[in-house]
Amino acid sequence: MSLIAPPLSLYIHMPWCVKKCPYCDFNSHGLRSAPPPYADYIDHLLADLDADRADFGAALQDRPVISIFFGGGTPSLFSPELIARLLDGVRQRLPLRADAEITLETNPGTIEHGRFDGYLAAGVNRISFGVQSFDDDKLRRLGRIHFAAEAEAAVKSAQDAGYTNINLDLMYALPQQTLDGALADVERAVALAPTHISHYQLTLEPNTAFAANPPPLPDDDHAWAMQEACEARLADAGYGQYEISAYAQPGRRCTHNLNYWQFGDYLGIGAGAHAKLSDATDGQVRRRWKTRGPSAYMESNGGASRIGGDDVVGSAELPFEYMLNALRLIDGVPLADFALRTGLPLENIAAPLAEARRRGWLRDDPGRLHTTALGQRFLNDVIAGFLG
């Protein structure tokens, strides 16, 4: 089976935030006394993109970009004028699909009045708010810089500016959170009528302040009860669950994240950004990541030192890499997509597939990879079965 080049997205990493949250393990850097070199960073992003285009020329040819995602850090620290300059530069270098989804992650505590008009004019057509909770005490415990009222005001400001595609990030199983508290957060999110809600459990990640000094978190049984109750409330409000932690109104699923989960391709520019590209000419799937430190990344000026690592994903690793993404989708993916997106025959996963079905983790569907409710609860175990 030949590998077929899948849809292509672009991820852009903006590494600065006002301050580092104690649970965050992303490549983000709190502000210091001197402001970051925002304008210079835009130039380096475009130089990075130019270099990637030169490196991946054959694999990128005639492939339109279906989505762009500004992640961080806090991309909303960058002015609309700088975002516009960057997007203009991207359009000059890559073909964008006419209906490309362009998302900007936003911290409610960093938005000034009028900025949403500017982001919309720049071409950003989807806003993602890092709300996390509508409980001021929980926000304080999480180290967030905004209050619940500010989050609500920011969402309404984006809606007033003309945004019709808005995501809210919410966390549950927060320090000393109760089931009622988790449901109250969902109620306040639903009242704002966003088109999409990402609802995920707080976990203690290595090398974070919370990992070094763990707060009192609900146990697994209480966390599971919160997840089930919140899922039911979101469903009642018209938000269909399509991925383990993603809920959307009809027709409002996130194109960018769906491309990740369906093992699509993506370029990654910016400090610490990751990329995954399929080359149909040589049948290889390659991963590349950029130097993490913003200063070192910018010093590279688009040169080879901007690359932190670059590997071909081996045939023994590909099944695990594929399942790590695809099995997160509630409706699963066509079984035939495995061969199209990895270039491997289905025989390579016949044994772990049969074992997962025997355990009741996957539905007995010959045409689709589709977890059962039990499989969703024990998803890490399901995916581990595909390790080489």
Provide the residue ranges of all domains of the chain, joining segments of one domain with +. Answer: 8-259, 318-384
Mean pLDDT of 32-59: 94
Average pLDDT across the chain, whole number: 95
Q: Does the structural domain 8-259 have CATH classification 3.20.20.140?
A: no
Instruction: Report d(CA 204, CA 319) in Å as an integer.
Output: 27
Q: Supply angle C-alpha 255, 248, 156, rounded to 5.
A: 100
Q: Kindly indicate the confidence band of residue 248, based on its pLDDT and cuts at 50, 70 and 90.
A: very high
Residue 33: the pLDDT is: 79
* Residue 281 CB partners (closer than 8 Å, separation 6+): 58, 59
Judged against a pLDDT cut of 80, whether residue 316 lies above it is answered with yes
> Which candidate, 185, 162, 65, 174, places its Cα nearest to that of 115?
162
Looking at residue 112, what is its pLDDT?
67
Banded model confidence at residue 388, pLDDT cuts 50, 70, 90: confident
Q: Is the dihedral of CA 83, 18, 28, 174 positive or negative?
A: negative
Calculate mean pLDDT across residues 152-159. 96
pLDDT digits (tens, 9 = 90+) for 344-387: 999 999 999 999 999 999 999 989 999 999 999 899 999 999 99
pLDDT tier at 93, thresholds 50, 70, 90: very high
Give the Cα separation of 224 and 112 in Å (integer).
37
Query: Tens of pLDDT along 249-293?
Result: 999 999 999 999 999 999 999 999 999 999 878 889 999 999 999
State the pLDDT at residue 99: 97
CATH code for the part of the protein at 318-384: 1.10.10
Examine domains 8-259 and 318-384 and report if their fold is the same. no
Indicate whether 230 pLDDT > 90: yes
pLDDT of 113: 57
Q: What is the DSSP string of 50-106?
A: HHHHHHTHHHHTT--EEEEEEEES-GGGS-HHHHHHHHHHHHHHSPEEEEEEEEEEE
pLDDT > 70? residue 31: yes
